[in-house]
A and B are shown apart, each in its own frame.
Chain A
Amino acid sequence: MLAIETSNLTKVYRKKHLTRTALTRGVEGLNLSVDKGEIFGLLGLNGSGKTTTIKLTLGLLRPTSGSVTVFGERAGSTQALRKIGYLPEVPYFYRYLTAKEILSLYARLSGLDNVAERVEHIIDMVGLSQKRDKQLAEFSKGMLQRIGIAQSLLHDPELLIYDEPVSGLDPLAMQEMRTLLLKLKSRGKTIFLSSHLISEVEKICDRVGILVKGNMVRTLEQSQWTSAEGSLESIFISEVADSAETDRMKL
Protein backbone atom coordinates (compact mmCIF):
# COMPACT_ATOMS: atom_id res chain seq x y z
CA MET A 1 0.00 0.00 0.00
CA LEU A 2 1.24 3.49 -0.81
CA ALA A 3 1.80 6.04 1.93
CA ILE A 4 0.36 8.86 -0.17
CA GLU A 5 -1.44 8.59 -3.46
CA THR A 6 -3.02 11.39 -5.43
CA SER A 7 -4.95 11.08 -8.62
CA ASN A 8 -5.56 14.10 -10.82
CA LEU A 9 -5.47 16.20 -7.70
CA THR A 10 -6.49 19.76 -8.47
CA LYS A 11 -7.03 22.76 -6.22
CA VAL A 12 -8.32 26.07 -7.43
CA TYR A 13 -8.61 28.79 -4.81
CA ARG A 14 -11.66 30.99 -5.09
CA LYS A 15 -11.63 34.38 -3.46
CA LYS A 16 -14.94 36.21 -3.54
CA HIS A 17 -14.73 39.91 -4.01
CA LEU A 18 -17.76 42.15 -4.11
CA THR A 19 -18.46 41.83 -7.78
CA ARG A 20 -16.35 38.95 -9.03
CA THR A 21 -14.62 35.76 -7.93
CA ALA A 22 -10.87 35.54 -8.34
CA LEU A 23 -9.52 32.09 -9.20
CA THR A 24 -5.96 31.08 -8.41
CA ARG A 25 -4.46 27.75 -9.36
CA GLY A 26 -2.89 25.94 -6.40
CA VAL A 27 -2.07 22.60 -8.03
CA GLU A 28 -3.35 20.96 -11.17
CA GLY A 29 -3.76 17.33 -12.19
CA LEU A 30 -1.26 16.01 -9.68
CA ASN A 31 -0.51 12.29 -9.91
CA LEU A 32 1.83 11.40 -7.16
CA SER A 33 2.68 8.30 -5.22
CA VAL A 34 4.88 8.11 -2.16
CA ASP A 35 6.08 4.63 -1.20
CA LYS A 36 6.30 3.41 2.36
CA GLY A 37 9.70 3.98 3.88
CA GLU A 38 11.05 6.50 1.39
CA ILE A 39 11.93 10.16 1.67
CA PHE A 40 10.05 12.02 -1.03
CA GLY A 41 10.85 15.66 -1.72
CA LEU A 42 8.55 18.16 -3.38
CA LEU A 43 10.84 20.65 -5.02
CA GLY A 44 9.57 23.93 -6.37
CA LEU A 45 9.91 27.69 -6.33
CA ASN A 46 7.85 29.83 -3.99
CA GLY A 47 4.22 29.71 -5.08
CA SER A 48 4.63 26.49 -7.04
CA GLY A 49 2.03 24.64 -4.96
CA LYS A 50 4.04 22.75 -2.33
CA THR A 51 2.06 23.93 0.68
CA THR A 52 -1.19 23.46 -1.23
CA THR A 53 -0.30 19.81 -1.91
CA ILE A 54 0.58 19.27 1.74
CA LYS A 55 -2.64 20.87 3.02
CA LEU A 56 -4.67 18.70 0.66
CA THR A 57 -2.90 15.63 2.03
CA LEU A 58 -3.82 16.71 5.55
CA GLY A 59 -7.44 17.54 4.75
CA LEU A 60 -7.01 21.21 5.67
CA LEU A 61 -8.00 21.93 2.08
CA ARG A 62 -10.50 19.98 -0.01
CA PRO A 63 -9.67 19.10 -3.62
CA THR A 64 -11.50 21.00 -6.32
CA SER A 65 -11.30 17.76 -8.29
CA GLY A 66 -9.35 14.54 -8.09
CA SER A 67 -8.48 12.76 -4.87
CA VAL A 68 -5.79 12.06 -2.33
CA THR A 69 -5.44 9.15 0.07
CA VAL A 70 -3.06 8.41 2.93
CA PHE A 71 -2.40 4.69 3.56
CA GLY A 72 -5.57 4.08 1.60
CA GLU A 73 -7.70 6.32 3.84
CA ARG A 74 -9.38 9.53 2.73
CA ALA A 75 -7.14 12.54 3.43
CA GLY A 76 -8.30 14.39 6.54
CA SER A 77 -10.13 11.41 8.04
CA THR A 78 -9.22 10.64 11.63
CA GLN A 79 -7.86 7.25 10.55
CA ALA A 80 -5.44 8.97 8.17
CA LEU A 81 -4.49 11.74 10.60
CA ARG A 82 -3.64 9.23 13.32
CA LYS A 83 -0.70 8.08 11.21
CA ILE A 84 0.66 11.52 10.32
CA GLY A 85 3.08 13.87 12.05
CA TYR A 86 2.95 17.32 10.50
CA LEU A 87 5.45 20.15 10.72
CA PRO A 88 4.02 23.38 9.27
CA GLU A 89 5.99 25.95 7.31
CA VAL A 90 5.87 28.40 10.22
CA PRO A 91 5.45 27.32 13.86
CA TYR A 92 1.85 28.17 14.62
CA PHE A 93 1.51 27.65 18.38
CA TYR A 94 -0.51 29.00 21.28
CA ARG A 95 1.87 31.51 22.77
CA TYR A 96 0.22 31.54 26.19
CA LEU A 97 0.94 27.86 26.88
CA THR A 98 4.22 26.45 28.18
CA ALA A 99 6.25 23.88 26.26
CA LYS A 100 4.99 21.12 28.50
CA GLU A 101 1.36 22.25 28.33
CA ILE A 102 1.24 22.50 24.56
CA LEU A 103 2.86 19.11 24.04
CA SER A 104 0.50 17.55 26.60
CA LEU A 105 -2.43 19.04 24.72
CA TYR A 106 -1.26 17.60 21.41
CA ALA A 107 -0.49 14.27 23.06
CA ARG A 108 -4.02 14.07 24.45
CA LEU A 109 -5.53 15.06 21.12
CA SER A 110 -3.50 12.30 19.50
CA GLY A 111 -5.20 9.87 21.82
CA LEU A 112 -2.10 8.87 23.81
CA ASP A 113 -2.60 7.30 27.23
CA ASN A 114 0.81 7.86 28.81
CA VAL A 115 0.78 11.60 28.18
CA ALA A 116 3.14 12.82 30.93
CA GLU A 117 5.73 10.17 30.23
CA ARG A 118 5.67 10.69 26.48
CA VAL A 119 5.92 14.47 26.80
CA GLU A 120 8.92 14.27 29.14
CA HIS A 121 10.63 11.89 26.77
CA ILE A 122 10.08 14.06 23.71
CA ILE A 123 11.06 17.33 25.47
CA ASP A 124 14.25 15.64 26.48
CA MET A 125 14.84 14.35 22.98
CA VAL A 126 14.65 17.82 21.39
CA GLY A 127 16.84 19.26 24.14
CA LEU A 128 14.32 21.60 25.78
CA SER A 129 14.27 20.11 29.29
CA GLN A 130 15.44 23.39 30.80
CA LYS A 131 12.60 25.32 29.16
CA ARG A 132 9.72 22.95 29.75
CA ASP A 133 7.79 25.39 31.97
CA LYS A 134 8.38 28.53 29.93
CA GLN A 135 5.59 30.08 27.85
CA LEU A 136 6.16 29.80 24.11
CA ALA A 137 5.90 33.58 23.83
CA GLU A 138 9.44 33.66 25.26
CA PHE A 139 10.85 31.10 22.82
CA SER A 140 13.35 31.88 20.07
CA LYS A 141 12.74 30.80 16.52
CA GLY A 142 15.07 27.83 16.85
CA MET A 143 13.34 26.67 20.02
CA LEU A 144 9.93 26.92 18.36
CA GLN A 145 11.21 24.77 15.54
CA ARG A 146 12.19 22.16 18.13
CA ILE A 147 8.71 22.27 19.62
CA GLY A 148 7.46 21.78 16.07
CA ILE A 149 9.60 18.69 15.65
CA ALA A 150 8.60 17.41 19.08
CA GLN A 151 4.87 17.69 18.38
CA SER A 152 5.27 15.92 15.04
CA LEU A 153 6.94 12.92 16.69
CA LEU A 154 4.87 12.70 19.91
CA HIS A 155 2.58 9.94 18.73
CA ASP A 156 5.29 8.04 16.83
CA PRO A 157 3.51 8.36 13.47
CA GLU A 158 4.31 6.31 10.40
CA LEU A 159 4.31 9.22 8.01
CA LEU A 160 6.00 12.59 8.54
CA ILE A 161 4.86 15.52 6.46
CA TYR A 162 7.31 18.39 6.79
CA ASP A 163 6.67 21.66 4.97
CA GLU A 164 9.98 23.44 4.28
CA PRO A 165 11.69 21.92 7.31
CA VAL A 166 15.10 23.48 6.68
CA SER A 167 14.34 26.90 5.24
CA GLY A 168 15.42 29.66 7.59
CA LEU A 169 17.51 27.41 9.82
CA ASP A 170 21.14 28.05 10.66
CA PRO A 171 23.71 25.56 9.31
CA LEU A 172 23.92 23.63 12.56
CA ALA A 173 20.14 23.25 12.85
CA MET A 174 20.04 22.22 9.19
CA GLN A 175 22.57 19.50 9.88
CA GLU A 176 20.50 18.33 12.86
CA MET A 177 17.36 18.21 10.76
CA ARG A 178 19.12 16.15 8.13
CA THR A 179 20.35 13.69 10.75
CA LEU A 180 16.88 13.45 12.26
CA LEU A 181 15.20 12.75 8.91
CA LEU A 182 17.70 10.04 8.00
CA LYS A 183 17.33 8.47 11.42
CA LEU A 184 13.55 8.42 11.06
CA LYS A 185 13.91 6.78 7.68
CA SER A 186 16.21 4.13 9.11
CA ARG A 187 13.43 3.34 11.59
CA GLY A 188 11.08 2.65 8.70
CA LYS A 189 9.17 5.94 8.67
CA THR A 190 7.95 7.54 5.48
CA ILE A 191 8.85 11.19 4.97
CA PHE A 192 7.13 13.61 2.64
CA LEU A 193 8.82 17.00 2.63
CA SER A 194 8.80 20.16 0.60
CA SER A 195 11.64 22.52 -0.09
CA HIS A 196 12.92 25.12 -2.47
CA LEU A 197 16.51 24.32 -1.46
CA ILE A 198 17.95 22.00 -4.07
CA SER A 199 21.11 21.22 -2.13
CA GLU A 200 19.14 19.92 0.85
CA VAL A 201 16.71 17.83 -1.14
CA GLU A 202 19.59 16.38 -3.11
CA LYS A 203 21.32 15.15 0.03
CA ILE A 204 18.51 13.26 1.70
CA CYS A 205 15.68 12.41 -0.70
CA ASP A 206 15.20 9.06 -2.39
CA ARG A 207 12.91 10.62 -4.93
CA VAL A 208 12.02 14.16 -5.92
CA GLY A 209 9.02 15.64 -7.68
CA ILE A 210 9.53 18.97 -9.40
CA LEU A 211 6.56 21.30 -9.16
CA VAL A 212 6.26 24.22 -11.52
CA LYS A 213 3.26 26.51 -11.25
CA GLY A 214 1.10 23.80 -9.77
CA ASN A 215 2.13 21.10 -12.22
CA MET A 216 4.34 18.14 -11.44
CA VAL A 217 6.66 18.39 -14.42
CA ARG A 218 8.99 15.58 -13.49
CA THR A 219 9.70 12.87 -10.92
CA LEU A 220 13.29 11.72 -10.40
CA GLU A 221 14.99 8.85 -8.63
CA GLN A 222 18.16 9.54 -6.66
CA SER A 223 20.24 7.65 -9.23
CA GLN A 224 19.11 10.06 -11.94
CA TRP A 225 20.70 13.08 -10.31
CA THR A 226 23.79 11.30 -8.98
CA SER A 227 24.56 9.71 -12.34
CA ALA A 228 25.68 11.17 -15.63
CA GLU A 229 22.53 13.13 -16.31
CA GLY A 230 23.85 16.09 -14.30
CA SER A 231 23.26 17.56 -10.89
CA LEU A 232 19.75 18.03 -9.56
CA GLU A 233 20.22 21.76 -9.85
CA SER A 234 20.77 21.74 -13.60
CA ILE A 235 17.78 19.44 -14.11
CA PHE A 236 15.62 21.65 -11.94
CA ILE A 237 16.69 24.88 -13.61
CA SER A 238 16.04 23.51 -17.07
CA GLU A 239 12.58 22.25 -16.07
CA VAL A 240 11.65 25.58 -14.50
CA ALA A 241 13.08 27.52 -17.41
CA ASP A 242 11.09 25.48 -19.94
CA SER A 243 7.83 26.32 -18.25
CA ALA A 244 8.68 29.91 -17.48
CA GLU A 245 10.05 31.18 -20.80
CA THR A 246 7.74 34.13 -20.82
CA ASP A 247 8.30 35.74 -17.45
CA ARG A 248 12.02 35.65 -16.79
CA MET A 249 14.29 38.53 -16.03
CA LYS A 250 16.20 39.68 -19.10
CA LEU A 251 19.86 39.83 -18.10
Chain B
Amino acid sequence: MKNILSIARYTLVENIRNKIFYVLVFFGIIIIAASLLLVALGGEQQIRVLLDFGLAAIEFFALVTVCFAAVNLALEEMQSKTIYLVLTRPVSRAHYLIGRYAGLLAAVYSGMFLMALLHAGLLVFNGFEFNLRYPLALLLSAEKITIIGSVALFFSLFSSSAISSISFTVFFWVLGHFSEEIRYLGNKVTYLVPKIVAKIAYYTIPNLQYFNLRDFWDVPGITGGWIPAAIIYGMLYSVACMTLSLWLFSNKEF
Protein backbone atom coordinates (compact mmCIF):
# COMPACT_ATOMS: atom_id res chain seq x y z
CA MET B 1 0.00 0.00 0.00
CA LYS B 2 2.85 2.38 0.89
CA ASN B 3 4.48 1.58 -2.42
CA ILE B 4 1.29 2.26 -4.35
CA LEU B 5 0.98 5.65 -2.67
CA SER B 6 4.61 6.59 -3.38
CA ILE B 7 4.21 5.71 -7.03
CA ALA B 8 0.86 7.48 -7.28
CA ARG B 9 2.44 10.56 -5.77
CA TYR B 10 5.25 10.95 -8.26
CA THR B 11 2.85 10.20 -11.11
CA LEU B 12 0.66 13.03 -9.89
CA VAL B 13 3.69 15.34 -9.70
CA GLU B 14 4.78 14.22 -13.15
CA ASN B 15 1.39 15.07 -14.63
CA ILE B 16 1.03 18.33 -12.79
CA ARG B 17 4.48 19.44 -13.94
CA ASN B 18 3.65 18.46 -17.49
CA LYS B 19 2.76 21.42 -19.68
CA ILE B 20 0.20 19.45 -21.66
CA PHE B 21 -1.90 19.10 -18.56
CA TYR B 22 -2.05 22.87 -18.18
CA VAL B 23 -2.75 23.40 -21.84
CA LEU B 24 -5.77 21.12 -21.60
CA VAL B 25 -7.13 22.63 -18.43
CA PHE B 26 -6.53 26.05 -19.95
CA PHE B 27 -8.46 25.12 -23.08
CA GLY B 28 -11.24 23.70 -20.98
CA ILE B 29 -11.48 26.96 -19.12
CA ILE B 30 -11.45 28.98 -22.35
CA ILE B 31 -14.22 26.86 -23.83
CA ILE B 32 -16.32 27.12 -20.72
CA ALA B 33 -15.79 30.85 -20.62
CA ALA B 34 -16.63 31.09 -24.29
CA SER B 35 -19.93 29.38 -23.64
CA LEU B 36 -20.89 32.60 -21.88
CA LEU B 37 -21.14 34.05 -25.36
CA LEU B 38 -23.78 31.48 -26.15
CA VAL B 39 -25.66 32.60 -23.11
CA ALA B 40 -25.50 36.18 -24.27
CA LEU B 41 -26.97 35.15 -27.63
CA GLY B 42 -29.46 32.53 -26.47
CA GLY B 43 -33.03 32.94 -25.29
CA GLU B 44 -34.86 31.24 -22.41
CA GLN B 45 -32.79 28.06 -22.64
CA GLN B 46 -29.51 29.85 -21.94
CA ILE B 47 -28.78 28.25 -18.58
CA ARG B 48 -29.47 24.85 -20.04
CA VAL B 49 -27.09 25.50 -22.90
CA LEU B 50 -24.37 26.64 -20.52
CA LEU B 51 -24.95 23.60 -18.37
CA ASP B 52 -24.82 21.04 -21.19
CA PHE B 53 -22.03 22.69 -23.04
CA GLY B 54 -19.83 23.05 -19.99
CA LEU B 55 -20.33 19.48 -18.79
CA ALA B 56 -19.58 18.18 -22.27
CA ALA B 57 -16.43 20.34 -22.48
CA ILE B 58 -15.17 19.16 -19.08
CA GLU B 59 -15.69 15.56 -20.10
CA PHE B 60 -14.08 16.03 -23.47
CA PHE B 61 -10.92 17.62 -22.15
CA ALA B 62 -10.63 15.10 -19.36
CA LEU B 63 -11.04 12.37 -21.95
CA VAL B 64 -8.26 13.71 -24.17
CA THR B 65 -5.95 14.02 -21.16
CA VAL B 66 -6.67 10.59 -19.77
CA CYS B 67 -6.39 8.93 -23.15
CA PHE B 68 -2.93 10.31 -23.94
CA ALA B 69 -1.63 10.04 -20.40
CA ALA B 70 -2.87 6.49 -19.83
CA VAL B 71 -1.43 5.27 -23.10
CA ASN B 72 1.95 6.72 -22.12
CA LEU B 73 1.70 5.75 -18.47
CA ALA B 74 3.87 2.67 -18.78
CA LEU B 75 5.07 3.01 -22.38
CA GLU B 76 6.96 6.22 -21.75
CA GLU B 77 8.71 4.83 -18.70
CA MET B 78 9.63 1.75 -20.67
CA GLN B 79 11.04 3.80 -23.53
CA SER B 80 12.95 6.24 -21.33
CA LYS B 81 13.98 3.29 -19.13
CA THR B 82 13.22 5.25 -15.98
CA ILE B 83 11.22 2.15 -15.10
CA TYR B 84 14.46 0.24 -14.40
CA LEU B 85 15.18 2.03 -11.17
CA VAL B 86 11.63 1.58 -9.90
CA LEU B 87 11.22 -2.09 -10.74
CA THR B 88 14.64 -2.96 -9.31
CA ARG B 89 13.40 -1.79 -5.92
CA PRO B 90 11.34 -4.16 -3.78
CA VAL B 91 8.15 -3.10 -5.58
CA SER B 92 5.86 -5.63 -7.20
CA ARG B 93 4.88 -4.98 -10.77
CA ALA B 94 1.22 -4.96 -9.79
CA HIS B 95 1.80 -2.24 -7.20
CA TYR B 96 3.71 -0.25 -9.76
CA LEU B 97 0.93 -0.32 -12.34
CA ILE B 98 -1.84 0.33 -9.84
CA GLY B 99 0.11 3.24 -8.37
CA ARG B 100 0.72 4.75 -11.77
CA TYR B 101 -2.94 4.47 -12.69
CA ALA B 102 -4.10 5.91 -9.37
CA GLY B 103 -1.73 8.87 -9.73
CA LEU B 104 -2.95 9.56 -13.21
CA LEU B 105 -6.58 9.48 -12.12
CA ALA B 106 -5.80 11.84 -9.26
CA ALA B 107 -4.28 14.29 -11.75
CA VAL B 108 -7.18 14.07 -14.19
CA TYR B 109 -9.80 14.33 -11.45
CA SER B 110 -8.07 17.47 -10.16
CA GLY B 111 -8.21 18.97 -13.64
CA MET B 112 -11.91 18.15 -13.89
CA PHE B 113 -12.49 19.63 -10.48
CA LEU B 114 -10.83 22.90 -11.44
CA MET B 115 -12.87 23.18 -14.62
CA ALA B 116 -16.07 22.28 -12.77
CA LEU B 117 -15.43 24.89 -10.11
CA LEU B 118 -15.27 27.57 -12.77
CA HIS B 119 -18.24 26.16 -14.62
CA ALA B 120 -20.43 25.91 -11.55
CA GLY B 121 -19.44 29.44 -10.59
CA LEU B 122 -20.53 30.74 -13.99
CA LEU B 123 -23.80 28.81 -13.79
CA VAL B 124 -24.72 30.12 -10.39
CA PHE B 125 -23.71 33.62 -11.44
CA ASN B 126 -26.19 33.33 -14.32
CA GLY B 127 -29.00 32.32 -12.01
CA PHE B 128 -28.69 28.52 -12.05
CA GLU B 129 -30.24 26.89 -9.05
CA PHE B 130 -27.56 24.56 -7.81
CA ASN B 131 -28.72 21.03 -7.08
CA LEU B 132 -27.33 17.60 -6.37
CA ARG B 133 -27.60 16.50 -9.96
CA TYR B 134 -24.64 18.64 -10.89
CA PRO B 135 -22.03 16.83 -8.78
CA LEU B 136 -23.69 13.53 -9.70
CA ALA B 137 -23.33 14.33 -13.39
CA LEU B 138 -19.65 15.08 -12.79
CA LEU B 139 -19.19 11.91 -10.80
CA LEU B 140 -20.58 9.82 -13.65
CA SER B 141 -18.38 11.70 -16.08
CA ALA B 142 -15.38 10.87 -13.92
CA GLU B 143 -16.46 7.24 -13.92
CA LYS B 144 -16.47 7.28 -17.71
CA ILE B 145 -12.99 8.79 -17.70
CA THR B 146 -11.84 6.04 -15.33
CA ILE B 147 -13.14 3.39 -17.70
CA ILE B 148 -11.52 4.99 -20.72
CA GLY B 149 -8.24 5.34 -18.83
CA SER B 150 -8.19 1.66 -17.99
CA VAL B 151 -9.04 0.76 -21.59
CA ALA B 152 -6.22 2.99 -22.87
CA LEU B 153 -3.73 1.44 -20.44
CA PHE B 154 -4.75 -2.05 -21.50
CA PHE B 155 -4.33 -1.25 -25.20
CA SER B 156 -0.94 0.36 -24.59
CA LEU B 157 0.35 -2.79 -22.89
CA PHE B 158 -1.22 -4.99 -25.50
CA SER B 159 0.06 -3.23 -28.60
CA SER B 160 3.13 -1.35 -27.27
CA SER B 161 2.40 1.39 -29.78
CA ALA B 162 1.02 4.73 -28.66
CA ILE B 163 -0.72 5.58 -31.92
CA SER B 164 -2.60 2.32 -32.31
CA SER B 165 -3.56 2.36 -28.61
CA ILE B 166 -5.01 5.83 -28.90
CA SER B 167 -6.91 4.83 -32.04
CA PHE B 168 -8.37 1.75 -30.36
CA THR B 169 -9.33 3.76 -27.31
CA VAL B 170 -11.12 6.40 -29.37
CA PHE B 171 -12.86 3.61 -31.25
CA PHE B 172 -14.10 2.15 -27.94
CA TRP B 173 -15.12 5.57 -26.77
CA VAL B 174 -17.26 6.18 -29.83
CA LEU B 175 -18.79 2.69 -29.95
CA GLY B 176 -19.39 2.87 -26.21
CA HIS B 177 -21.98 5.52 -26.90
CA PHE B 178 -23.84 3.19 -29.25
CA SER B 179 -24.08 0.17 -26.99
CA GLU B 180 -27.87 -0.02 -27.14
CA GLU B 181 -27.79 0.21 -30.92
CA ILE B 182 -25.22 -2.57 -31.07
CA ARG B 183 -27.38 -4.74 -28.86
CA TYR B 184 -30.38 -4.00 -31.05
CA LEU B 185 -28.33 -4.98 -34.08
CA GLY B 186 -27.23 -8.19 -32.40
CA ASN B 187 -30.84 -9.13 -31.73
CA LYS B 188 -32.22 -8.18 -35.15
CA VAL B 189 -29.59 -9.46 -37.54
CA THR B 190 -30.22 -13.04 -38.66
CA TYR B 191 -26.86 -13.85 -40.25
CA LEU B 192 -24.67 -15.72 -37.82
CA VAL B 193 -21.32 -13.93 -38.18
CA PRO B 194 -22.55 -10.32 -37.87
CA LYS B 195 -24.75 -11.49 -35.02
CA ILE B 196 -21.81 -12.93 -33.11
CA VAL B 197 -19.66 -9.87 -33.84
CA ALA B 198 -22.40 -7.57 -32.55
CA LYS B 199 -22.89 -9.70 -29.42
CA ILE B 200 -19.16 -9.76 -28.67
CA ALA B 201 -18.92 -6.02 -29.25
CA TYR B 202 -21.87 -5.42 -26.97
CA TYR B 203 -20.32 -7.37 -24.13
CA THR B 204 -16.71 -6.16 -24.48
CA ILE B 205 -17.22 -2.47 -25.24
CA PRO B 206 -18.19 -0.45 -22.16
CA ASN B 207 -21.70 0.91 -22.22
CA LEU B 208 -20.94 4.59 -21.80
CA GLN B 209 -24.55 5.65 -22.21
CA TYR B 210 -25.11 4.72 -18.57
CA PHE B 211 -22.99 7.67 -17.54
CA ASN B 212 -24.72 10.51 -19.39
CA LEU B 213 -26.76 12.01 -16.61
CA ARG B 214 -26.94 15.27 -18.49
CA ASP B 215 -29.11 13.62 -21.16
CA PHE B 216 -31.74 12.87 -18.52
CA TRP B 217 -31.46 16.07 -16.56
CA ASP B 218 -35.18 16.79 -16.54
CA VAL B 219 -36.48 13.25 -16.09
CA PRO B 220 -37.77 13.10 -12.52
CA GLY B 221 -36.72 10.32 -10.18
CA ILE B 222 -34.10 9.00 -12.55
CA THR B 223 -31.34 9.15 -9.97
CA GLY B 224 -32.84 6.37 -7.85
CA GLY B 225 -31.23 2.98 -8.42
CA TRP B 226 -29.61 3.83 -11.70
CA ILE B 227 -26.70 5.91 -10.48
CA PRO B 228 -25.34 3.36 -7.98
CA ALA B 229 -25.78 0.68 -10.65
CA ALA B 230 -23.83 2.76 -13.16
CA ILE B 231 -21.07 3.36 -10.64
CA ILE B 232 -20.78 -0.32 -9.78
CA TYR B 233 -20.79 -1.22 -13.45
CA GLY B 234 -18.02 1.30 -14.15
CA MET B 235 -15.91 0.01 -11.31
CA LEU B 236 -16.31 -3.60 -12.35
CA TYR B 237 -15.43 -2.76 -15.91
CA SER B 238 -12.30 -0.83 -14.86
CA VAL B 239 -11.22 -3.57 -12.48
CA ALA B 240 -11.63 -6.21 -15.19
CA CYS B 241 -9.61 -4.11 -17.60
CA MET B 242 -6.95 -3.46 -14.98
CA THR B 243 -6.71 -7.17 -14.18
CA LEU B 244 -5.94 -7.89 -17.82
CA SER B 245 -3.40 -5.06 -17.85
CA LEU B 246 -1.70 -6.44 -14.73
CA TRP B 247 -1.43 -9.82 -16.35
CA LEU B 248 0.08 -8.36 -19.54
CA PHE B 249 2.46 -6.23 -17.50
CA SER B 250 3.65 -9.11 -15.32
CA ASN B 251 4.92 -10.83 -18.47
CA LYS B 252 6.79 -7.81 -19.82
CA GLU B 253 10.56 -7.60 -20.11
CA PHE B 254 12.60 -4.44 -20.05
Binding site for B on A (CB under 8 A): 55, 58-62, 78-79, 81-82, 84, 86, 88, 90, 92-94, 96-97, 101, 105-106, 108-111, 151
By the criterion CB–CB under 8 Å, are A105 and B90 in contact? no
Q: How long is the Cα–Cα vector from A60 to B85 in the complex, in angstroms?
A: 10
By the criterion CB–CB under 8 Å, are B88 and A92 in contact? no
Q: How long is the Cα–Cα vector from A58 to B84 in the complex, in angstroms?
A: 9
Q: How long is the Cα–Cα vector from A224 to B217 in the complex, in angstroms?
A: 84
Any A CB within 8 A of the CB of B181: no
By the criterion CB–CB under 8 Å, are B82 and A94 in contact? yes
Any A CB within 8 A of the CB of B3: yes
- Which partner residue on chain A sits nearest B254 by CB separation? A60
Contact with A along B167-196 (1 / 0, CB 8 A): 000000000000000000000000000000
By the criterion CB–CB under 8 Å, are B2 and A108 in contact? yes
Given the complex, which residues of A lie within 8 Å of B164, measured CB to CB?
Answer: none
Bin chain B's interface residue count.
Answer: 20 to 34
| A96-B13 contact given A60-B84, A78-B91, A81-B90, CB 8 Å threshold | yes
Any A CB within 8 A of the CB of B236: no
Q: How long is the Cα–Cα vector from A86 to B87 in the complex, in angstroms?
A: 11
Can you report 26 A-B residue pairs in the complex whose CB atoms are below 8 A from each other?
A: A60-B84, A60-B87, A79-B90, A81-B88, A81-B89, A81-B90, A81-B91, A86-B84, A88-B81, A90-B81, A92-B81, A93-B82, A93-B85, A94-B14, A94-B82, A96-B14, A97-B10, A106-B85, A108-B3, A108-B6, A109-B3, A109-B6, A110-B89, A110-B90, A111-B2, A111-B90
- Which partner residue on chain B sits nearest A108 by CB separation? B6
By the criterion CB–CB under 8 Å, are B90 and A109 in contact? yes
Given the complex, which residues of B lie within 8 Å of A93, measured CB to CB?
Answer: 82, 85
- Expressed in whole angstroms, the minimum distance between the Cβ of B2 and any Cβ of chain A is 7
| A61-B88 contact given A92-B80, A93-B82, A97-B13, CB 8 Å threshold | no
Q: How long is the Cα–Cα vector from A94 to B84 in the complex, in angstroms?
A: 11
Q: How long is the Cα–Cα vector from A58 to B92 in the complex, in angstroms?
A: 13
Any A CB within 8 A of the CB of B86: yes
Q: How long is the Cα–Cα vector from A61 to B78 in the complex, in angstroms?
A: 13
By the criterion CB–CB under 8 Å, are A109 and B86 in contact? yes
Most buried by A among B2, B6, B18: B6
* Interface set, chain B 56-100, CB cutoff 8 A to A: 80-82, 84-92
Given the complex, which residues of B lie within 8 Å of A101, measured CB to CB?
Answer: 10, 13
Sorted nearest first, the 10 A-B pairs with minimum C-beta distance are: A78-B90, A92-B81, A109-B89, A108-B6, A60-B254, A82-B90, A81-B90, A86-B88, A96-B17, A58-B88
Any A CB within 8 A of the CB of B253: yes
Given the complex, which residues of B lie within 8 Å of A88, measured CB to CB?
Answer: 81, 84-85
Given the complex, which residues of B lie within 8 Å of A60, measured CB to CB?
Answer: 84, 87-88, 253-254
* Interface set, chain B 200-252, CB cutoff 8 A to A: none
